Amino acid sequence: MIDQPDRQITAGTWFASCILVLLLILCVPLFIRMPLATDVVLYDVQAETVLKGGTLYQDMFETNLPGIVWLHMLIRPLIGMSSDALRCVDSLFLTGTVALLMLWNRRNQLSVTGMLWVGITLYAFYFSLSEWCHFQRDTIILLPALGALWMRRKQLDRLCEEKSPTALSLIGWAFLEGLLWATAFWIKPFVAIPALCVWLGSVWLARRWRGVLLDWTGLLAGGLFLGAMGIAWLWQTGAWPWFLETFLEWNPEYVAARKSGWTFLRFAQFLYRFYPWFLLHLFAIPLALIVLKDCWGSRRKAGTDGEPAPGQRDETLLSLLYLGWLTQSLAFQHLFDYVHPPSHLLAITVIGGYLGSRYRQRSLGWGWKSGMTLFALLVVLTFPSFKPERARLWKTCLTQSSNAELKARLALLVQVDWEDLEAVKQFLAAQKIKGRELHCYNSTLIYLYPELNLQPATRFGFFDSVLVFCRKHREDLHKAIEDSPQKFIVTDLIESGFNRETALATPENPAQNLPPQYPVSLKGAYPWSQPVVFRSGRYLVHQVQRPLGKFVAGGFVPTESDVQKFLKRQRQQQAKDKSQ
């Protein structure tokens, strides 16, 4: 019989409570004023397009399932378009996730104090991440996935402990669980892998085949119901044929690009940005495997009639979710930072449950205690909010809304030069452009559309990304720009191949207003041969003159040699066409 977890409020409980409150007081204002990631703004632009009568996939290109756009369509009309408001919603999602993870090991001897320390660690991890990881699909789907995991635990209790649970209760609760898994799936389908791991584990733990069959029926019905609702929306809005075209004709190239992103240098950079948190996997993976091994041993020892204890079942389900999530994030996805926070959050919970149980049993050795102390020291030394230059902004974050200066000083991943981008925004506002007359060539410029209340000139919000990843569709992209009413193009030199020093270099002739290494004599290379009418740092504003030109050098700034080779091939093709 497992002892009941300690409900006594001790001095350690009060201390942990104070640490948690102080952590939130320090970090939340800084977190709210951070900039949004480019992906999040793209979903805003897509949601705004659909809300104004546009058709997803037809009027706004998207390589993913529409669930994240639906979420933005639901949230944005309620909270407005400010980045601060969306970050408040993100903090609520995070709090729900943290609460479910904190409470998970309650049946496995984790005390209130232990739960609080798990919560502190979960919050500290998320607040240490760059803006690239915030309000992204992978972390968002962890909340409905955890809701489904809690329902799976209840269903497993019913299958293991009740002699004859009613068919209606089994199917009904499984149906609701299916709705939660399907909700996560519509946002990001990779959740299917951890979901399958959890369900197969529960089948093995229960071993009541009639109950399992009813459970599977309800689970499948819930998933299919929400799947049908989503397909009906796509069909009713006219997005269905465009959705099929995107996934059948465009996405294979995008998916294939995943392999090219897994390089040693990029992986090393990823580990650096997640230091010291990635070290948690070195402990969580063996602990999760030990949990599965112990449960296997207990199940064999008990025989067909014996059942693992509730706490052991909880550990097993969490371990399966963690290992399944880690597998899909490493094996099937791009090496992007935002993919990996959920596996770290689950790793913290796996380790926290183990340490809490061992601490109550007074069997936590000096090795674990030394390791915990060392890890805590590494977290404190690297924690962004403890750095003086960032902590000094706390009062400003309380009293001011986000602006270019605050975003520049709070950003943890410098993808945008906010003050230079603000100068571009002011210039474009003075041109009184409207509708779809602005084309942001690079994905880092997506912020200009909502801030200027404009729609993209083409349906490709991340134009340069599609140009790079979907090479077979360059004719479609060129037709899109030819048909668009664009009057101004904005380009980002760093995103287009220049290093920072070269992009920010000033010319000897101030009237030129271009970096010295910019190939000013380009002919017919879109968009680089279009005349530059304004420059702010790394950003160039081009005024459109027809003809627009062709794509040269794979979407990046071409060299003079690239253009000469392109023109030579063009002349050869024209001569060949004439001879025929």
pLDDT band with cut points at 50, 70 and 90 for residue 445:
very high
Calculate the dihedral angle through the C-alpha atoms of 63, 471, 261, 46, rounding to the nearest 10 degrees: -30
| Mean pLDDT score, 315-335 | 95
Domain boundaries, the chain: 11-386, 418-579
Identify the DSSP state of 530: S
Which of the pair, 513 or 500, is modelled with greater confidence? Answer: 500
pLDDT band with cut points at 50, 70 and 90 for residue 538:
very high
Count of residues in the chain = 580
Please state at what angle helix 280-302 crosses helix 341-360, rounded to 10 degrees.
Answer: 60
Residue 109 has pLDDT above 90, yes or no: no
Radius of gyration of the chain (CA): 27
Q: Are 137 and 64 in contact (CB under 8 A)?
A: yes
Burial of 565 (0-12, 13-18, 19+ CB in 10 A): middle
What's the pLDDT score for residue 262?
82
| Mean pLDDT for the chain overall | 91
| Mean pLDDT score, 382-396 | 95
Other CB atoms closer than 10 Å to residue 568's CB: what's the count?
10
Residue 388: CA count within 13 A, CB half-sphere:
0
Over residues 211-231, the pLDDT tens digits come to 889 999 999 999 999 999 999
Sign of the four-CA dihedral 97, 38, 456, 400: positive
State yes or no: cis peptide before 276, omega within 30 of 0.
Answer: yes
What's the pLDDT score for residue 555?
80
For residues 529-559, one letter each, b for 16 or more C-beta atoms within 10 angstroms of the residue's C-beta and e for the rest, the string is bbebebbbbbbbbbebeeebbebbbebbbbe
Sign of the four-CA dihedral 203, 204, 206, 211: positive
pLDDT band with cut points at 50, 70 and 90 for residue 363:
low
What's the pLDDT score for residue 224?
97
Q: Are 419 and 404 in contact (CB under 8 A)?
A: yes
* CA distance between the termini of the chain: 88
Q: Which of 97-101, 211-215, 279-283, 384-388 has the lowest mean pLDDT?
A: 211-215
Q: What percent of the chain is modeled with pLDDT above 90?
A: 72
pLDDT band with cut points at 50, 70 and 90 for residue 362:
low
Burial of 377 (0-12, 13-18, 19+ CB in 10 A): exposed
What's the pLDDT score for residue 17?
96
Which of the pair, 83 or 294, is modelled with greater confidence? Answer: 83
Q: How far apart are CA 319 and CA 346, in angstroms?
A: 8
Give strand pairing partners of 525. 550
Residue 475 has pLDDT above 70, yes or no: yes
Which of the pair, 107 or 505, is modelled with greater confidence? Answer: 505
| Mean pLDDT score, 294-318 | 79
Residue 189 has pLDDT above 80, yes or no: yes
Q: Which of 160-169, 171-180, 183-192, 383-392 has the lowest mean pLDDT?
A: 160-169
Q: Which of 48-52, 168-172, 241-245 has the lowest mean pLDDT?
A: 168-172
What's the pLDDT score for residue 366?
84
* Token pair for 350: 């796996």
* Token pair for 534: 């304004």
**Residue written as token pair 């329902």:** 151
What distances in angstroms separate CA 389 from CA 34, 87, 517, one per listed residue?
14, 22, 35
Concatenated DSSP letters of 37-58 = PHHHHHHHHHHHHHHTT--BTT
Q: How far apart are CA 60 and CA 55, in angstroms?
A: 7
Q: Which of 1-5, 89-93, 312-316, 372-376 has the lowest mean pLDDT?
A: 1-5
Edge-to-edge strand list for the sheet holding 438-440 = 438-440, 488-492, 539-543, 532-536
